[in-house]
């Protein structure tokens, strides 16, 4: 509990500093939020009224304190572009983004760990070289370019997967999804809507693979490096000398001790992937936060930009907190740090 309390205290301090930095930066941008709210043809009297209504005529310190008070009470402001509360906009789009993020990270962790263990079995061989090549390619290739290539191959050439969207248009009319948890794909599964579930999985494949490419490459390379270090330890040679099966030694004994460094990479990759969803969602027209973020930045929508930044930072801190707890579970020495 002391370990957890320390990590939570650090996270709160980071979020506080982040709100201050983002708030000041958003106010020094040379753009008038009242014009964004009312439109470029609004008369000066209307613009002055809107500045007073939104509090932009107050001193900067007063605006910041009001913003902090709103964060604590759940009032994150209204979007200047849509005129709706920012939290409502995020709540409507967050489930789609999280479903895509969870799918991508599941692919990255499972496939990346397996490839890393396989590559470490015979280092320097052809299979090891091929896995390292794929890992470097996944880390190096931009997500939007990989997404376009996958669309050309699987949609344009093979015609086996849909190009964009989360579900087909006809699902809304022929097999509507009954909301239960707010996560459409999961709701279609637990309510037995097989048609919608299969359609959603088909739409999820390409964006999930695109988003998983970067973290998969990181996980595979770190797992390989950690496994090579662990397999050279004396206790591994001792286990092999006692006649334990190679698979048991490699997948249970060695992999468990090689996982802490890999878990660190998983946490960092998950946080990076959260922001990487923005590019992927635009390419695949995925109805998540990325679409909202792109529109907010183009419209210089201050409240929306700040809310999205704060949400991304919170996701980054939560991911790293979970990783710290898992590492403390795998390696008790971490709790002493």
pLDDT of residue 249: 85
Residue 121 neighbours by CB under 8 Å, 6+ apart: 250
Q: At the fourth CATH level, which superfamily is domain 95-331?
A: MetI-like (1.10.3720.10)
Transcribe 285-302 into DSSP letters.
T--SHHHHHHHHHHTT-H
Give me 151's structure tokens.
């669309």
pLDDT in tens, 319-329: 777 877 777 77
Nearest-angstrom CA–CA distance, 242 and 239: 5
Helix/strand/coil for 181: coil
Handedness of CA 151, 156, 158, 162 (dihedral sign): positive
Nearest one of 157, 147, 156 to 205, comparing CA atoms = 147
Q: Mean of the pLDDT values across residues 77-90?
A: 84
Nearest-angstrom CA–CA distance, 84 and 305: 14
pLDDT of residue 100: 93
pLDDT in tens, 22-52: 888 777 766 667 676 666 677 877 777 777 7
According to DSSP, the residues that pair with 78 across neighbouring strands are 85
Structural domain spans, the chain: 2-73, 95-331
pLDDT of residue 113: 93
**Helix (H) or strand (E) run with residue 320 in it:** helix 302-330
Nearest-angstrom CA–CA distance, 104 and 284: 14
First to last CA, the chain: 14
Nearest-angstrom CA–CA distance, 159 and 154: 6
Residue whose entry in the numeric block shows the structure tokens 């027209």: 285
pLDDT of residue 217: 92
Question: Would you say residue 257 has pLDDT above 70?
Answer: yes
Nearest-angstrom CA–CA distance, 277 and 262: 22
Query: Model-level pTM?
Result: 0.83
According to DSSP, the residues that pair with 85 across neighbouring strands are 78
Confidence class of residue 112 from pLDDT cuts 50, 70 and 90?
A: very high
Q: Mean of the pLDDT values across residues 190-208?
A: 93
Question: Would you say residue 336 has pLDDT above 60?
Answer: no
Question: Would you say residue 309 has pLDDT above 80?
Answer: yes
pLDDT of residue 207: 94
pLDDT of residue 186: 92
Residue 135 neighbours by CB under 8 Å, 6+ apart: 112, 115, 216, 217, 218, 220, 221
């Amino acid at each position: 509990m002391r370990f957890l309390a320390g990590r939570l205290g650090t996270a709160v301090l980071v979020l506080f500093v982040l709100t201050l930095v983002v708030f000041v930066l958003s106010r020094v941008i040379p753009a008038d939020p009242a014009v964004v709210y009312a439109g470029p043809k609004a008369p000066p009297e209307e613009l002055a009224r809107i500045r007073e209504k939104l509090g932009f005529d107050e001193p900067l310190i007063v605006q910041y304190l009001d913003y902090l008070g709103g964060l604590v009470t759940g009032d994150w402001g209204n979007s200047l572009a849509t005129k709706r509360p920012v939290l409502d906009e995020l709540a409507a789009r967050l489930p789609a983004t999280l479903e895509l993020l969870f799918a991508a990270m599941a692919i990255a962790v499972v496939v990346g760990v397996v490839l890393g263990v396989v590559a470490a079995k015979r280092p320097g061989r052809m299979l090891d070289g091929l896995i390292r090549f794929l890992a470097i390619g996944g880390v190096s290739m931009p997500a939007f370019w990989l997404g376009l290539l996958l669309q050309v191959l699987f949609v344009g050439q093979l015609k086996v997967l849909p190009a964009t969207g989360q579900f087909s248009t006809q699902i809304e009319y022929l097999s509507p999804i009954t909301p239960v948890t707010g996560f459409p794909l999961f709701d279609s599964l637990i309510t037995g809507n097989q048609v919608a579930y299969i359609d959603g999985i088909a739409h999820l494949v390409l964006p999930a693979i695109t988003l998983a490419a970067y973290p998969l490459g990181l996980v595979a390379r770190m797992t390989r490096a950690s496994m090579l270090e662990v397999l050279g330890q004396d206790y591994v040679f001792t286990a092999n000398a006692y006649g334990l099966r190679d698979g048991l030694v490699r997948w249970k004994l060695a992999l468990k001790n090689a996982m802490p460094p890999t878990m660190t990479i998983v946490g960092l990759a998950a946080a990076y992937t959260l922001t990487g969803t923005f590019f992927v969602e635009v390419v695949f027209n995925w109805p998540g936060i990325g679409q909202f973020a792109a529109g907010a930045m183009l419209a210089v929508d201050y409240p929306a930009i700040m809310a999205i930044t704060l949400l991304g930072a919170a996701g980054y801190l939560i991911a790293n907190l979970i990783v710290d707890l898992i590492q403390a579970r795998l390696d008790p020495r971490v709790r002493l740090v």
